[in-house]
Amino acid sequence: MPPVPRYESNFNGTITLDNSDSSPPERGDRSYIRPSSREALVDHLTGLRDRDETPDRIVAVGGFSSFEFPQLHLAEQGEDLSSSRREFPSPCLLVDVSGMNSITHIDKLSLTVTVEAGITYWDLANQLRAHGLAVANLSAYPEVTVGGGSGTGTHGSGFAVHGKNQADQFIALEIVDARGEVRRVVDPRLFTHLGVLGVVTAVTLRCIPMFFLKQACFEFADLDAFDSLRIGAFQQLAESADFYSTMIRIDLVDKQHHPLKCYIRTVAKDENDQEFQTSFLGADLVENVHGEEPQVFAGPYYDVLPDHTTASRKNVPAPGTYHQAEYFVDNRLASQAVHAFLSEADKDDSFITALPTGLKCRFVSSDDQWMSPTANVDGVELYMALQLSLYGSRSEIAAILKRIEDCFSDHGIPFSCHWGKLCYGGHGSVNSKLRDRAEIMNATRVEFDPDGAFLDSDSELAKLFGR
C-alpha cells in the first residue's frame, strides 16, 4: 500500500506534517498511509513485521483536529514561537484512519451502532438519521472522529443535567497493534485511550431514537447571576424531561459587570418548533438580530449543538493563530475559579485580545475512565469546564495560559487540562492527579504495545507514565 499524501498540517496549521514522500516506506523513514479498511492496515503492518521493518513509532490520526498529541513530543519549528508551528517527530509511520469512515453495522433492536473509527460525528449523525437514530452525546465540534475524540477524553453535550466523556457511550473498541494483531477492548476504563494502545479501527456505541433540539439564549446584566445559574438553574432544569444541556458565556470586555449569556438546549417537537419561554431566572430571551449569528433556533440535534461555539470560529487571519485550551475544576470551586480568572483578565486588555468571544463555562459529570481529565478522583462528581478559544501567536497564548494556571495555583484551586488542547505547565504535570491511574493504564499499554511504538519517551504522557 503506497503512502498517499494528503495533509500538510493539522486543521489550524499549528502542527506541520511531512507526508509528501511517495516512495515505499523504509525503516527509519517518515511515512504516511491511509488504509481504506482494517484488513488493509493489518496487511501493511504484518508485511512490515515479516520484513523486520516494524516502525519505531506509529501515530494514528483522523480529523487532524488536535492542538496537541499527548503521546508525542512535538519539536518546535525554529526558536521563534511567534510562528506557532511545530513538527511531528521523525522517524514515524503516520496512519491516517480518515479513509475508514463507514458505519458497518446497526442493530435497531439493541440500539447499537458499529462504525469505523475514522468516521466523523457529523457523518455519523447524518447517516443515523436515515435510520431514525441518533447518538445521545455529540461533540460541539462534529468534525472530530469517533475514535479520535475518545482518545483525548473529549466530552460533549448529552441527555443529562451535565455533559459527560463521549466515550461513556462506547461499548467496545477494536484496535490493531504495531505488529498487525487485532485486539478488542471492552473495559470502559480504557476508552480514553490517548493513542497509546494501538490504532483504533472500529467503535461500537449505544444510540437512541432520532431527536430535534431547540436552543434558547438568555442574557444577564452582570456576573452576579453566575451562582444562580450554576446552582439554581440546574435544579430547575433537571425537573424538565425535555432538558438537554446548557452553557454559559462570560463577556470579558465589560470589566465592571462581566455580563453573561446562558444557552439552554431542550428537546424540540420538530425542526420548526419555535415555542420558547420568554424569560429565565429573570433574564429575557435574546432576540435574533438580522445579519448576526442566530442564538435562538431549532433543528436536528447535530445542527443545534455546534452553535454556541461557532461564534468562536472567526476567519483566522493566518495559520497557527487559532488555539484552544480547556481547564477543569471541581464544581464546588467553580465560583472561586471564575472570579480568579476574571481578576487576572481584568488587569489589562491582553485577555480581551486573545479571547474575543469571552470565557465559556460548561459542566461535566465525572467518569470512571483511567485517563479521563474529568475522572472521579478525590470525590469530585461534577466539574466546571473553562473553555478557551484563543487567538494569537503561540508565545502570546503561552503567556495567557501561564497567567491562568498561576492564578489558579495562587488561589489554591486544583485543576486539570484537556488532552489534545493546550496548557502551559505541561499535560503530565497539570494532570498529575491521574498518576495512580496512569500506572494502571501504562501496564495495559505495555501489554498491548511491548515495543513502545505508540508512545514517545519524551512526551508529556510518558512523563506521567513514569517512563
Res 210 pLDDT > 70: yes
Q: Are residues 103 and 205 in the same domain?
A: yes
Position 382 confidence tier, pLDDT thresholds 50, 70, 90 = confident
Check whether residue 129 and residue 111 sit in a common domain: yes
Looking at every residue in the chain, the average pLDDT score rounds to: 88
Give per-residue pLDDT as tens, 5-22.
Answer: 455 778 788 887 765 444
DSSP 109: T
Same domain for 229 and 140: no
Identify whether residues 201 and 116 lie together within a single domain: yes
Residue 118 lies in a domain: yes
pLDDT of residue 5: 45
Q: Mean pLDDT over residues 341-362, rounded?
A: 95
**pLDDT band for position 25 (cuts 50, 70, 90):** very low
Report if residue 418 sits inside a domain: no
More confidently predicted of 30 and 421? 421
Does 217 lie in the same domain as 133?
no
pLDDT at 165: 84
User: Do 201 and 225 fall within a single domain?
Assistant: no
Instruction: Convert 153-187 to b/e letters by CB count within 10 Å (16 or more is b).
Output: bbbbbbebbbbbbbbbbbebbbbbbbbbeeeebee
pLDDT computed for residue 278 by the predictor: 94
111 in a structural domain: yes
Whole domain around residue 135: which residue ranges? Answer: 99-209
Percent of the chain clearing pLDDT 70 (strictly above): 88
458 CB neighbour count, 10 Å cutoff: 13
31-60 tens-digit pLDDT = 889 999 999 999 999 999 999 988 889 999
Q: Is residue 404 part of a domain?
A: no
Same domain, 131 and 231: no
Q: Are residues 205 and 114 in the same domain?
A: yes
Structural domain includes residue 280 = yes
Is residue 173, in this structure, part of any structural domain at all? yes
Q: What is the CATH number of the domain that holds 137?
A: 3.30.465.10
Q: Give the C-alpha separation, 58 to 27, whole Å.
A: 12
Q: How far apart are CA 141 and CA 289, in angstroms?
A: 24
Domains in the chain: how many in total?
A: 2
Higher pLDDT, 317 or 246: 246
What's residue 223's pLDDT? 96
Q: Is the pLDDT of residue 220 over 90?
A: yes
Answer whether residue 412 is part of any domain: no
Q: Are residues 192 and 268 in the same domain?
A: no
Residues 190 and 227 in one domain: no
- Which residue in this structure is represented by grid cell 501493511? 44
